[in-house]
Each structure stands twice: as C-alpha cells, then as structure tokens.
Amino acid sequence: MIGILIFPDFQLLDAAGPISAFEIAARCTGKTPAIRVLAVKPGLVRSSSGVEMMARDFKAANAITTLVVAGGVGVADAARCEVTRAFLQRLAKRGVRVASVCSGAYVLAEAGLLDGRRATTHWGRTRDFVARFPKVKFEPDQIFTRDDNVWTSAGISAGIDLALAMITEDHGEEIAQQTARQLVLYHRRSGGQSQFSSLLELKTPNGRFGALLSWARENLDAPLTVEDLADRAGMSARHFARAFAAETGTTPSKAIERLRLEVARERVQSSREAIELVAETTGFRDPERMRRAFIRAFGQPPQALRRAARVG
C-alpha cells in the first residue's frame, strides 16, 4: 500500500502526480489501487492552490509499505511538527520505503532520515538546504536519488519520475513503461536538474562568488583550475574550495563543467558550428570529453540535441 503525506499548503502536484502514477501502475497489473492520503489532522487538507484533498490520520498507515512526503509552501511547519517527525522515524525503523517530493526533503531531513545519505530537492533550495543540513550528502543536479530505502526527488513534476522508478522496482520495466505511456511521459527523463535550472543559477550568478563565475563564463577556453579560480578570488585553494562549496552547494570543478555544458549546449542547439570547434572554445578541448559530459548531464550526445533542436 502507498501512503502520501500532506499538510496545510502542500503542493497539489507533489501528491497528485505520484498518486496518478501509482494508480495507473496498479491498474496495469490488474489490481485495485491501494493508496492512502495521510495527514496529522484527518479530513480536508487545503493545498497552496486552494484545492482540498481528503486525508486520513496516521493510524491508517499500518499497512503501507511506501510513504511519499509532499512538499509545498507549508513545508516549514510540517518539518517542525514533532508528531510528523516521530511518525516518519517509526516508519523508517519498520522498514517502510520513505520518499519525498521537492521540498518534502526538509521533512525527512528534520526527522534525521537523510543524515549521511544522498539526497536532493528543488534546485532553488540548494543553498538553504546545504546550509541547514550539512550531514546530508546533497546532490543538486539529480532528478531523484535513492539511498537504501530512502528516496528524494527534485521539484514538483520530478515526483512522477520518482514514482516511475519505484514502479520499475516493484513491478518491472514493462509496467513502468506502460504507466509512462499512459501518462504521456518519458519512462526515464534524460539529464538532471541543470537543464531546467540554468545550471543551479550559475548562468546568472549572484552571491559571494557571482562576479567570479561571470568572469569564468566569459573565459571558458582557459584552464580554470581550482588554483586559477582561488587566485582570482584572492584566497588559498583549500579555503576557496571549502567556501565555494558552502556558498553554491557544489565544487568549483563541477561548477565550471556546468558552465561549459550550458554554453556548449546553447551553441550546439542554436548554431551550425562544428562540434569540434564548440568543444575547443568552451574548454572541453576534446570532442569525446564533451560528448561524455553531455551524456552525463543531459542523457544525450551533442549531435542528438542538435537534431532535436532542428526538428523542434
């Protein structure tokens, strides 16, 4: 049985997206959907859109094997709720698969379920989340993460990606593919959050290292090593690397690769420049190195993105 945990001012799609995916998957297997919506206070729970959803209290969770926690503007109060935190801790000890959608990761983190684990949340919350939960192994560019029996997903629609991955685990590839086709979605979305978040705001950076990143973006053909960046920032390499990670939620080398990826992707999709030239001028140097980076970040090589852009 699937449980969906909501709270006042939850994001409606955070709950409704996974609910629909799990419902369709159950029907594809010939079974009746077994889904329970849960809340601290049973009854109608108002979402941030004003639309209400009917919920049961936590006593209805006895039979659930998976719990998905929604996010939304009301997540701060939900994360501070002692009853909710204790409930999550009990389920985790019981071996229930626990997951979050978008900012629902804050609820899991406050309950201590993400300490020492890989996790993600909406790209716009990266800096705040990293600062508040330093024990979490935060991965800002993932659509979803799984660390043992604890899953987290990025913003809103990524909850459906997470649900499809769970459906694959529970029912196999064929049922997951049928579910995705019914939803008119990709079974596995290519790439990470960087394709939706302007590389975690590195494209138009602000904050302590904003000027440095803007300079780096204009000089991508330079080596741009950690030492180079630290020297320009007037800091030792070690201090710079630590301060940069604390500020941005990523390492200097990963930030530079993301900047290179964004600029290279723009040029691949909007121009007829040779792939080799794009690789050279954006600092990848080797076209094969750029191809591997594209596949890691976007799920496709440069040539495929160019063809798709021309078709569109």
Q: Considering 61, 70, 78, 102, which one is annotated as catalytic?
A: 102
Give 24: exposed, middle or buried? Use CB within 10 Å, 0-12, 13-18, 19+.
buried
Query: Can 28 be counted among the known catalytic residues?
Result: no
Alpha carbon distance, N-terminus to C-terminus of the chain: 41
What pairs with residue 99 in β-bridges? 68, 151
Task: Kindly give the residue spans of alpha helices, DSSP state H, lying in the chain.
Answer: 12-28, 75-80, 82-94, 105-110, 126-132, 158-171, 173-183, 198-201, 210-217, 226-233, 237-248, 252-270, 275-281, 287-298, 302-311
Report the alpha-carbon distance of residue 88 to residue 107 in Å, rounded. 9
Phi/psi of residue 99, each to 5°?
-140, 165
Active site residues: 102
